[in-house]
Amino acid sequence: MAIDYDFYEASNLKAAKCDVYARPVGGQTVTTEQLARFIEKGTTATRGDIRLVLSALADEIVFQLREGNRVQVDDLGTFSIAMEGQAGRDRNGRLLLKGARIRSVRFRPCRQLMQKMGSVQFTRSNHLGHHSARVSQEEVLAAVDRMTQGGGTFTVARFRSELGLSGGMAYKWLRQLAEDGVVSNVGARNCAVYVRKEGQRDS
């Protein structure tokens, strides 16, 4: 197995050492249900037990992070929070932070995880480039029909792979398709999964 990658135009050329950068393409999102199913095959635990443990682990990590703690998970890595706000001083000159909030959750992989990842191979994708392919609306609709045949769903990554689109062009097409009532996002905002709306297929 190898990870497909392609080149994309750097958005900040002044800060970049090159006008392009490489990143993985075409990967699919593995859900908790799928993880539970995969783990079940290699252990004596049931899928329900695995899902329960994964859910409890996620809840406990959130609780500990909200307490200001770092969470180290063996063979995986360490979770911690990054915060932001506007530094200032009160009338007595004491430092304070206005609008303090959690900016993101950081993850630092442990050495064992990185050692296991070290054997991964990479290949240049044959489907994508940092310039989008020119596609027509008919081609886009045909691709949507192929991916959703039999009630199937598709991700942004698969949509891009099917049509050879850059990220920006793919999102532009998907926004238009959603506005036209052709597709609907049934996933999360930051992890979109699209379905074809009923009654919107080509005749």
Residue 203: pLDDT band with limits 50, 70, 90: very low
Give percent of the chain with pLDDT exceeding 70.
85
When pLDDT is cut at 50, 70 and 90, the band that residue 53 belongs to is very high
What is the CATH class of 131-196? Answer: mainly alpha
Mean pLDDT, the chain, whole residue set: 85
Q: Is the pLDDT of residue 158 over 50?
A: yes
Q: So where are the chain's domains?
A: 70-109, 131-196
Is residue 188 over pLDDT 70?
A: yes
Q: Which residues pair with 196 in a beta bridge?
A: 183
Give yes or no for residue 170 having a pLDDT over 70.
yes
Answer yes or no: are the C-beta atoms of 117 and 145 closer than 8 Å. Answer: no
What is the model's pLDDT at position 8? 67
Angle at 148 between CA 156 and CA 196, to 5 degrees: 80
Per-residue confidence at 56, pLDDT binned at 50, 70, 90?
very high
- pLDDT given at position 132: 53
The pLDDT of residue 117:
85
Check if the beta carbon of residue 104 is closer than 8 Å to that of residue 137: no
Contacts of 148 (CB under 8 A, 6+ apart): 154, 194, 195, 196
